[in-house]
Chains A and B, each alone.
Chain A
Amino acid sequence: MKPSRRLSVTAIFLGFGLAFLYLPLAVVIVYSFNASKLVTVWAGFSGRWYAELLADRQILDAAANSLIVAVVSASLAAILGTAAGYAFARFGQFPGRATLAGAVAAPLVLPDVIAGLSLLLLFVALGQAFSWMPERGLFTVIIAHAGLTTAYVAVIVQARLAGMARDIEEAAADLGAKPFTVFRTITLPMIRPAVAAGWLMAFVLSLDDLVIASFVSGPQATTLPMVVFSSIRLGVSPKINALAALLILLSLVLLATSAWIGRGALKRASLRP
């Protein structure tokens, strides 16, 4: 029996794969502290690109837009995704279930260009049909992002509900609690970590989206990825290195938060008899 030898081959692949995933990010972070304007020539440690970045109005405005869009669309997605996850986990069979499930989950895999173009055509058509529709801008990006990220929240919430015993919910219902009361006082507190994790994931995806936002946004509403994309097209710049390093740091913080929420949920689950 020689499983240890095969294990070492896979371990080499794992090491190579992780190095492949992380080396490019490490290079970006290191060079963001490079004093030289020539991105690949090392000329000593410096924080000047961070200072320049924080003085760049265009980038700061775009970052503010992105934050607004991400917070509002993630909150919308958390509500709709929780409703969808609850419906699929607790409503059993209902007419049209497979169609609805497919429509909710489709954004998990569909390419962004499809979602971007089709939602833009929708907003244009709605704008023609109803004069009260707001101009394309942050509002349309929020709706589009919520449409994308609801799927992720639904999957996370549904998985949590599927792994959760129904006995407490059923006991409350037997004691005469109305369905909404059961949901609010029993189900919701138990799935709160899943909803929070879903919100975080929706927030990250919204903050990261370039393609859909480019299609549905208006001329005034530029998001951070749109600014980053147009400057990347012009080439590598130390300022973008600094921004990239900050975004990598942000993703670390958000993943740590998400893992921490998940851990709390696990602990609570294991405390239950």
Chain B
Amino acid sequence: MIARGTSAGSGRRLVLAALWLWTAIVFFLPFALVLKISFAEAQLSVPPYSALFERVDGVVVGLKATLANYGLLATDALYFKAYVGSLGIALIATTITLILGYPMAYAIARAPSPRREVLLILVMLPFWTSFLVRIYAWIGLLRPSGVINTALQAMGLIDAPLVLLNTQGAVYLGIVYAYLPFMVLPLYARLEKLDPALLEAAADLGAKPWRTFLSVTLPLSHPGILAGCLLVFIPAVGEFVIPELLGGPDTLMIGKVLWNEFFSNRDWPMSAAATVVLLATLIAPVMLFQSLRMRAEARP
């Protein structure tokens, strides 16, 4: 028994050491570097940022850190608008996704067995389909000579093409479309466990369907709603592809700003600072999501 314990111990230590090393490489170290470089200055060199520590013969003699990047983020109207814009767009899009996704998840959870599995797969399939392809499909539908405008004109409903693409509305549409499966799946997982006897009891006691929904179904599906909303909201805040391809020049989102600072302006410290601000914003929702997962895990 004791011998087994120690040999199990060394195997465990090896697995855990490998996992700590891996997360150090792909998680902890990269974020430490982002934090460090966000205090540096952009300069024409390889790599294009100033050194944080002044060294003489390999000995650190001074610290050269600047808060200028954060200062610019806080004072520049463009960055501020992008930051607020991201949160606003993500919030509204998450709400729309919930309103569309909840009844879908409910209908799937209440469907009889063979049909239910088919419906689930139908909701999951877009998740397996290329994200870019799905956004691209909407460009074909929304552009001035696209399918929607052509059809409306052929029916005589409009004379000139509507401006649908490169608008704020198209960005909402894109986010709802891309993230709908992430909303439906956790909601389904929750609603599927709902005991139908509870609904019957409520109905037998004279509750109208809406009343039953509000006081039984909705409270019991609360963790699913929270998980689904976080799974949509968190990535949507940092979204780049959707505002870039479907949004217009007035669509300001932090992910796009970060991308442009990096690729167009080659200002690495500035995009590092934008990353830190984005991360700081998302830490609370991410922690909430993790604790939800932990609780779900602890449940037998």
A residues near B, CB below 8 A? 1-3, 5-7, 9-11, 13-14, 16-18, 20-22, 24-25, 27-28, 31, 38-40, 80, 83-84, 86-87, 91, 94, 96, 98, 100-106, 109-115, 117-119, 121-122, 124-125, 128, 143-144, 146-147, 150, 158, 162, 173, 178-180, 204, 207-208, 210-211, 214-215, 225, 228-229, 232-233, 236, 240-241, 244, 247-248, 251-252, 254-255, 258-259
Q: Nearest chain B CB to A59's CB is how many angstroms away?
A: 13
Cα distance A100–B47 in the bound complex, in angstroms: 31
Q: Which A residues lie within 8 Å of B286 (CB)?
A: 106, 109-110
Contact B245 A233, beta carbon cutoff 8 Å = yes
Q: Do A27 and B137 form a contact, CB below 8 Å, given A87-B16, A122-B30? A: yes
Mark out the residues of chain B between 53 and 93 whose CB falls within 8 Å of any chain A CB in the assembled complex.
Answer: none
Q: Which B residues lie within 8 Å of A204 (CB)?
A: 128
Closest Cβ neighbor of B200 among chain A residues: A1
Contact A14 B104, beta carbon cutoff 8 Å = yes
Contact B240 A112, beta carbon cutoff 8 Å = yes
Mark out the residues of chain B between 93 and 150 whose CB falls within 8 Å of any chain A CB in the assembled complex.
Answer: 100-101, 103-104, 106-108, 110, 119, 121-126, 128-141, 143, 145-147, 150
Which one of B133, B143, B146, B230 lies within 8 Å of A248 (CB-CB)?
Answer: B133
Cα distance A50–B180 in the bound complex, in angstroms: 30
Cα distance A207–B290 in the bound complex, in angstroms: 26
Q: Which A residues lie within 8 Å of B23 (CB)?
A: 100, 103-104
Q: Which A residues lie within 8 Å of B209 (CB)?
A: 2-3, 5-6
Q: Is B249 an interface residue (CB 8 A)?
A: no
Q: Which B residues lie within 8 Å of A25 (CB)?
A: 126, 129, 133-134, 137
Q: Do A118 and B31 form a contact, CB below 8 Å, given A17-B104, A110-B286, A236-B140? A: yes
Which one of B27, B137, B289 lies within 8 Å of A244 (CB-CB)?
Answer: B137
Q: Which B residues lie within 8 Å of A214 (CB)?
A: 263
| 17 A-B contacts (beta carbon < 8 Å) | A14-B103, A20-B100, A20-B180, A21-B122, A21-B181, A39-B140, A87-B15, A112-B235, A113-B240, A118-B33, A122-B25, A144-B26, A214-B263, A228-B133, A228-B136, A232-B139, A236-B140
Contact B130 A110, beta carbon cutoff 8 Å = no
Contact B126 A21, beta carbon cutoff 8 Å = yes
Contact B33 A208, beta carbon cutoff 8 Å = no
Contact B235 A40, beta carbon cutoff 8 Å = no
Cα distance A103–B282 in the bound complex, in angstroms: 14
Q: Nearest chain B CB to A135's CB is how many angstroms away?
A: 13
Q: Which A residues lie within 8 Å of B8 (CB)?
A: 179
Contact A28 B262, beta carbon cutoff 8 Å = no
Contact A7 B107, beta carbon cutoff 8 Å = yes
Contact B22 A109, beta carbon cutoff 8 Å = no
Q: Nearest chain A CB to B150's CB is how many angstroms away?
A: 5
Contact A244 B136, beta carbon cutoff 8 Å = yes
Mark out the residues of chain B between 164 and 188 whose CB falls within 8 Å of any chain A CB in the assembled complex.
Answer: 177, 180-181, 184
Q: Which A residues lie within 8 Å of B27 (CB)?
A: 103, 106, 147
Q: Which A residues lie within 8 Å of B238 (CB)?
A: 110-114
Closest Cβ neighbor of B48 among chain A residues: A124
Q: Nearest chain B CB to A98's CB is how many angstroms away?
A: 8
What is the predominant secondary structure among interface residues of chain B facing chain A? helix
Cα distance A122–B106 in the bound complex, in angstroms: 44
Closest Cβ neighbor of B254 among chain A residues: A113
B residues near A, CB below 8 A? 4, 7-8, 11-12, 15-16, 18-20, 22-23, 25-31, 33-34, 37, 47, 100-101, 103-104, 106-108, 110, 119, 121-126, 128-141, 143, 145-147, 150, 177, 180-181, 184, 199-200, 203-204, 209, 213, 230-231, 234-235, 237-241, 245, 255, 258-259, 262-263, 268, 271-272, 275, 278-279, 282, 286, 289-290, 293-294, 297
Cα distance A232–B244 in the bound complex, in angstroms: 11
Q: Nearest chain B CB to A256's CB is how many angstroms away?
A: 9
Cα distance A87–B12 in the bound complex, in angstroms: 8
Contact B234 A109, beta carbon cutoff 8 Å = yes
Q: Which B residues lie within 8 Å of A244 (CB)?
A: 130, 133, 136-137
Contact A118 B34, beta carbon cutoff 8 Å = yes
Cα distance A214–B258 in the bound complex, in angstroms: 13
Q: Which B residues lie within 8 Å of A207 (CB)?
A: 130
Cα distance A91–B133 in the bound complex, in angstroms: 41
Q: Nearest chain B CB to A213's CB is how many angstroms away?
A: 12
Contact B103 A247, beta carbon cutoff 8 Å = no
Which one of A9, A103, A114 lies within 8 Å of B279 (CB-CB)?
Answer: A114
Q: Which of A113, A173, A252 has most B Cβ within 10 Å?
A: A113
Contact A13 B103, beta carbon cutoff 8 Å = yes
Q: Which A residues lie within 8 Å of B297 (CB)?
A: 158, 162
